[in-house]
Chain A
Amino acid sequence: MVMTLVGSPSNAQNAGLRGKVEIDGSSTVFPITEAAAAQFNKRYPNVTVNVGVSGTGGGFKRFTKGETDISDASRPIKASEFEATKAANLPFFEIPVAYDGLTLVIHKENDWVDYLTLDEIKKIFTTEGNAKTWSQVRTGWPDTEIQIFAPGTDSGTFDYFKEVVAGKSGSLREDMSTSEDDNVLVTGVSGSPNAIGFFGVAYYTENKDKLNSVPVLNPELSEPVSSTPEAIENGSYSPFSRPLFIYVNAKSFSRPEVRQFVGFYLASAAKLAPSTGYVALPASVYQEARKRCLGRLTGTHYLTKSMEKRTGSVTDVYQTKNLIK
């Protein structure tokens, strides 16, 4: 008998499969998971898939209690959460599903910002930088007050931006207008010529007529790069492109309905990511993820043995040699 790895699922409907898949977690990953669940339910109408939006941290809280089968995450698992899975004896598969590009946006009438360097972004967003006016960011820019709009502090988006811009010990300034609802940020930035804000690339793509995106200077290429799908995929939109994950409870994975769902998700993620405003990962990453599930290789790639965070592009980090249990 010949067994081969499969890439795409067939489309025949199967009413025989039963069961329930409980998913919770990041609202950023939600649209992809929802799309996967909706398509999956067309094929397996009798499997109940419930998807919640408790946020990345809230999702992991339920995941580490064994309440959910899959956790959506817009950042890799944290050391404390990883310890919790170990304490609860819950091995898991770490599966990247798509890229998101954090996009900095400004008002349409803002004609002075051509691009920003990471240092300038630090000046605007961190407590240490604390720039009050645009002229404090770069000489020659107008002496008008900057208004900053940022996602809510509970979101994985905020966490990721904070880590890139302020580092582990630093903090983002507190006099920003924050909202859990990114549409509020869109309205905020499009309402003031002196405003700047950031959120996932999907919100920029839908509001291109109201906002301009700010290219970010890539430190290695020393040239400004915009958050286009190509730049996000080839890694040149650095350091603001980030992978999105699903974490699968390995015990649940032995249930046929969960196994089918994860297989379906992986096979269709490359198609679903662009349809929901995200960017597909390289095919090799999905192939790697398939190997994790098939070989029952549990654990995370984003922590080292000493529980330090591992950073880098997905293709570099997501390798078997980096896997720790």
Chain B
Amino acid sequence: MSDSASNDTLTSQESPSPAERATLVGGRRRMSTDRWFQRLCIATAAASVMVLVFLLASILVEGIPALTSTLVLGTPEPNPDEAGMWPAITGTLWVCSLCALISLPLGIGTAVLLEEFKPRSKFALRAYQLIQLNISNLAGVPSVVYGILGLTAFVSMFSLFDQVREPGAAAYEIGATYYDQFSNLASDPFLSMGSEEVAERYFFVPVNARTDAPTIPKPGMQALEYVDNVLVPVEVTVTDPFDAPAEPEALSYAIDINAVPGRISEKNWYYFRLPFGRGVLAGALTLMLVILPVVIISAQEALRAVPSSLRDGALGIGATPWQVVWNVTLPASIPGIMTGSILAMSRAIGETAPILIIAGIVYIRNSPHHLMDSYTVMPLQIYNWTSRPQEEFHQIAAGGIILLLAILMTFNAVAVLIRHRMHKQQV
């Protein structure tokens, strides 16, 4: 408004001299350039908003009818009406929370080093420059490359722990109990025994270590059976199949004397192994690689924005560098660091390519129970559903995208809240 008003006063002036006229013409051109520039800015801003609105509208229209409690709490099923993504939701929460827990301290720590503890020697300066150059470069590496790196570095750990006989198996682990699982004589899926219905039973014999030789069935062997999800001792008959008891109940407790058991394991919540394998931890560490450069660079910018007078003041009254960082610069830069972390976590939550390489599972019914457990993430589940031929799967995929956005916004809301709190404290 003020622009056009000043324009009017310029044009309404009477009989300007030639020199004045020249500046006025120039002035008019300047003003119109300014107006056009403003319009251009509005147009570019509108374009990005339009794309987002269009995307959101099409997703919402298709996805809202698919938003059911089944989609949130269900497991993946071949029938789209029954399919849900609870394992993928919990997988995403596990991987992203772990990733944030690991990468934020690492990233902020690196940024503090680079910004607050300036190099004092020529050698240190070179090292700082090298780190800085590396971080900037890593920010541009495609995420699929990090997936391949994660596969080598975290999943198989450069094969450092490999035994010749079983590559990739756990070399060191805690929190696992191993059992040998025997099936009874009646439970072979390829054979049926006579016409009577004999109950299928499975018996468990504890073994000390994963690498122990398979248990050889012996008469009088101690065995356990799951009853209501609890292992209870049970008496089994180890017998030759042709001397097996005829009575169905007795037969159901009979094990073939030549039976070969299968090794299974029960894992505690603190289960840990080396190498990490294709578990939640390896996924979180790989995503950490993807977002670490973003976290570091944004934290550096935030620290740089803290006025040096604050630092100087603190140092002036005798604070140590640690006290300056902890009490002055970090609190002052938290809002900026949070903004960077929001962007980084938004990237992590939507990453598909590296997870496809290091986990790759799309049918899984269980949520992760420990750091090494198998998992899938929401983008992977959505990708799988969109590539199905059936239209119904595309609809629940749209519902899945809305859920993913909702989780992303929750993550962001928490960060915004923290930022807001810190801001208020400072004011």
Stretch at the interface among A116-124, A238-246, A259-267: A259-267
The answer to whether B168 touches A203, judged by C-beta atoms less than 8 angstroms apart, is: no
Question: CA separation between A222 and B166, bound complex, in Å?
Answer: 53
Whether, in the assembled complex, B320 has its beta carbon less than 8 Å from a beta carbon of chain A, the answer is no
B264 to chain A, nearest CB (A): 4
The answer to whether B167 touches A66, judged by C-beta atoms less than 8 angstroms apart, is: yes
Question: CA separation between A250 and B4, bound complex, in Å?
Answer: 84
Size bracket, chain A contacts: 35 or more
Whether, in the assembled complex, B312 has its beta carbon less than 8 Å from a beta carbon of chain A, the answer is no
**A4 surroundings in chain B (CB, below 8 A):** 191-192
Question: CA separation between A315 and B366, bound complex, in Å?
Answer: 39
Whether, in the assembled complex, B189 has its beta carbon less than 8 Å from a beta carbon of chain A, the answer is yes
Question: CA separation between A50 and B362, bound complex, in Å?
Answer: 8
Closest to B241 in A: A1
The answer to whether B200 touches A14, judged by C-beta atoms less than 8 angstroms apart, is: yes
Question: Which among A53, A200, A260, A277 is the interface contact of B189 at CB below 8 angstroms?
Answer: A260
**B271 surroundings in chain A (CB, below 8 A):** none
With A49-B363, A50-B364, A53-B384 given, is the CB distance from A18 to B264 under 8 Å?
yes
Whether, in the assembled complex, A2 has its beta carbon less than 8 Å from a beta carbon of chain B, the answer is yes
Whether, in the assembled complex, B237 has its beta carbon less than 8 Å from a beta carbon of chain A, the answer is no
The answer to whether A52 touches B166, judged by C-beta atoms less than 8 angstroms apart, is: no
Question: Which among B181, B226, B362 is the interface contact of A30 at CB below 8 angstroms?
Answer: B362
**A182 surroundings in chain B (CB, below 8 A):** 387, 389
B32 to chain A, nearest CB (A): 43
Whether, in the assembled complex, A221 has its beta carbon less than 8 Å from a beta carbon of chain B, the answer is no
Whether, in the assembled complex, B97 has its beta carbon less than 8 Å from a beta carbon of chain A, the answer is no
The answer to whether A65 touches B181, judged by C-beta atoms less than 8 angstroms apart, is: no
Question: Which among A33, A38, A205, A262 is the interface contact of B77 at CB below 8 angstroms?
Answer: A38
The 8 A CB mask of A22-53 against B (1 = contact, 0 = none) is 00100100110111011001000010111111
The answer to whether B202 touches A18, judged by C-beta atoms less than 8 angstroms apart, is: yes
B365 to chain A, nearest CB (A): 6
The 8 A CB mask of B225-247 against A (1 = contact, 0 = none) is 11001000000000001101000
A115 to chain B, nearest CB (A): 24
Query: Which residues of B, 360-408, contact A by the 8 Å Cβ criterion?
Result: 360-366, 374, 384, 386-391, 394
A41 to chain B, nearest CB (A): 6
Closest to A27 in B: B387
Question: CA separation between A33 and B384, bound complex, in Å?
Answer: 14
The 8 A CB mask of A219-261 against B (1 = contact, 0 = none) is 0000000000000000000000000000000000011111110
Question: Which among B190, B241, B389 is the interface contact of A293 at CB below 8 angstroms?
Answer: B190
The answer to whether B191 touches A256, judged by C-beta atoms less than 8 angstroms apart, is: no
Question: CA separation between A10 and B193, bound complex, in Å?
Answer: 13
Question: CA separation between A200 and B390, bound complex, in Å?
Answer: 13
Question: CA separation between A27 and B362, bound complex, in Å?
Answer: 10
With A9-B189, A206-B389, A254-B262 given, is the CB distance from A1 to B244 under 8 Å?
yes
Question: CA separation between A5 and B187, bound complex, in Å?
Answer: 13
Query: Which residues of B, 238-263, contact A by the 8 Å Cβ criterion?
Result: 241-242, 244, 260-263
Whether, in the assembled complex, A19 has its beta carbon less than 8 Å from a beta carbon of chain B, the answer is yes
Question: CA separation between A67 and B166, bound complex, in Å?
Answer: 9
**B226 surroundings in chain A (CB, below 8 A):** 15-16, 18, 46
| B contacts with A, residue count (CB < 8 A) | 52
With A18-B264, A259-B188, A259-B189 given, is the CB distance from A52 to B361 under 8 Å?
yes
The answer to whether B225 touches A16, judged by C-beta atoms less than 8 angstroms apart, is: yes
A179 to chain B, nearest CB (A): 10
Closest to A290 in B: B190
**B202 surroundings in chain A (CB, below 8 A):** 14, 16-18, 256
B190 to chain A, nearest CB (A): 5
Whether, in the assembled complex, A207 has its beta carbon less than 8 Å from a beta carbon of chain B, the answer is yes
**A183 surroundings in chain B (CB, below 8 A):** 386-389, 394
Whether, in the assembled complex, A174 has its beta carbon less than 8 Å from a beta carbon of chain B, the answer is no
Whether, in the assembled complex, A87 has its beta carbon less than 8 Å from a beta carbon of chain B, the answer is no
Query: Which residues of B, 140-173, contact A by the 8 Å Cβ criterion?
Result: 166-168
With A16-B202, A16-B225 given, is the CB distance from A6 to B363 under 8 Å?
no
Question: CA separation between A6 and B193, bound complex, in Å?
Answer: 10
**B179 surroundings in chain A (CB, below 8 A):** 18
Whether, in the assembled complex, A325 has its beta carbon less than 8 Å from a beta carbon of chain B, the answer is no
The answer to whether A48 touches B76, judged by C-beta atoms less than 8 angstroms apart, is: no
**B77 surroundings in chain A (CB, below 8 A):** 38
The answer to whether A1 touches B387, judged by C-beta atoms less than 8 angstroms apart, is: no
The answer to whether B388 touches A31, judged by C-beta atoms less than 8 angstroms apart, is: yes
Question: Which among A35, A65, A267 is the interface contact of B78 at CB below 8 angstroms?
Answer: A35
**B210 surroundings in chain A (CB, below 8 A):** none
Question: Which among A15, A41, A52 is the interface contact of B362 at CB below 8 angstroms?
Answer: A52
Question: Which among B190, B229, B359, B388 is the interface contact of A6 at CB below 8 angstroms?
Answer: B190
A199 to chain B, nearest CB (A): 9
**A206 surroundings in chain B (CB, below 8 A):** 389-391
The answer to whether A256 touches B242, judged by C-beta atoms less than 8 angstroms apart, is: no
B69 to chain A, nearest CB (A): 19
- Starting from the known contacts A180-B387, A207-B389, 9 additional A-B residue pairs (CB-CB under 8 Å) come to A4-B192, A50-B374, A51-B362, A53-B362, A53-B384, A67-B168, A205-B389, A256-B187, A276-B78
28 pairs, CB–CB < 8 Å, chain A vs chain B: A1-B193, A1-B242, A1-B244, A4-B191, A5-B192, A6-B190, A17-B200, A18-B179, A18-B264, A19-B264, A34-B363, A35-B78, A41-B365, A48-B364, A49-B363, A51-B362, A182-B387, A200-B389, A203-B389, A206-B391, A254-B260, A254-B262, A255-B181, A255-B263, A256-B202, A257-B262, A275-B78, A293-B190
